[in-house]
Amino acid sequence: MRIRLVVGALLASACLAAPVMVSTEAAPALVLAEVYRNSIDPAAYWVSEKLDGVRAYWDGKQLYFRSGHPVPAPAWFTRDFPATPLDGELWLGRGTFERLSGIVRKTEPVDAEWRQVRYMLFELPGAGGTFSVRKDRLARLVEQAGIPWLQAVEQFRVDDRKALQAKLDGVVAAGGEGLMLHRADAQYSAGRSDDLVKLKPFLDREARVVAHLPGEGRNTGRLGALLVEDENGRQFRIGTGFSDAQRENPPTVGSLVTYRYRGLTAKGLPRFPAFLRIREAF
């Protein structure tokens, strides 16, 4: 199976009159991914599989979701973690996001369920040196910790776009989500930049739910669309991609959702945004 490399950009969207977005706890400042563009030379990057998990930040003492809310993990899960900041994904395996989300959202963790969870690491927040240096240090920390559920994400290099395409095809064919590219010579810098880019067979983004818009016709009396707001405060509607059950019980106001879209219109709006999943409701 061959999947064309996607050319992407930061989504832009029109501002609509709407309620003020619900505030959340202070989120940690982490590296965020841009979307891969054909102008990027993959030979300058370390490449890894994009894990469809739940982002988690370890500050050396406590594990947090990307929202800033503490992860209700069992004490044994984090007890022997290194006393240094770590960034990664809580992960069960390919195609298991919904089950994983159910496990890590429980305020009373279930040990038997958490025994299946791995903390897959890909960054050392705030550490010095290039990404090549940081990834090697991360591998040593994981080896020294000797904890089966604490692992470093495998990083590899490719020579060119053809080789990157082949890797993408293989990962997706095996049920994976896509690839992440970390620029090898990048110093650590929080925020969104080309130091970290994601490559998937479709474009997706995240947005915060700010309102439920009523449906019409067959959707009368239930959800018609979500009014959402992106990280830059721009608001737009997502009206497709929902199951009947999700229209009856939609994502709560304040929750973070992932949506797919097919590029941008001439006005810079996300084209055909469609609901994919609740990304974070913690």
d(CA 55, CA 65): 6
CA angle 192, 200, 203 (to 5 degrees): 70
Determine the straight-line distance between the first and last CA of the chain, rounded to whole angstroms. Answer: 36
Backbone angles phi, psi at 85, to 5 degrees: -60, 140
Token pair, residue 58, equals: 């370890």
Beta strands in the chain (DSSP E): 31-35, 45-49, 54-58, 63-65, 86-91, 118-123, 150-152, 179-183, 191-199, 203-214, 223-229, 235-238, 256-261, 274-280
Residue 253 to residue 24: CA distance in whole angstroms: 11
The three-class DSSP label of residue 162 is helix
The catalytic position among 50, 135, 167, 200 is 50
Active site residue 200: no
Distance of CA 206 to the CA centre of its chain: 8
Using alpha carbons, list the distances in angstroms from residue 142 to 55, 145, 171: 18, 5, 24
**Region of residue 178 (phi > 0: left; psi between -120 and 50: alpha; otherwise: beta):** left
For residue 9, give the nearest of 47, 40, 52 by alpha carbon: 40
Parallel, antiparallel or unpaired: strands 235-238 and 54-58: unpaired
Q: How far apart are CA 170 and CA 172, in angstroms?
A: 6
Catalytic residue numbers?
A: 50
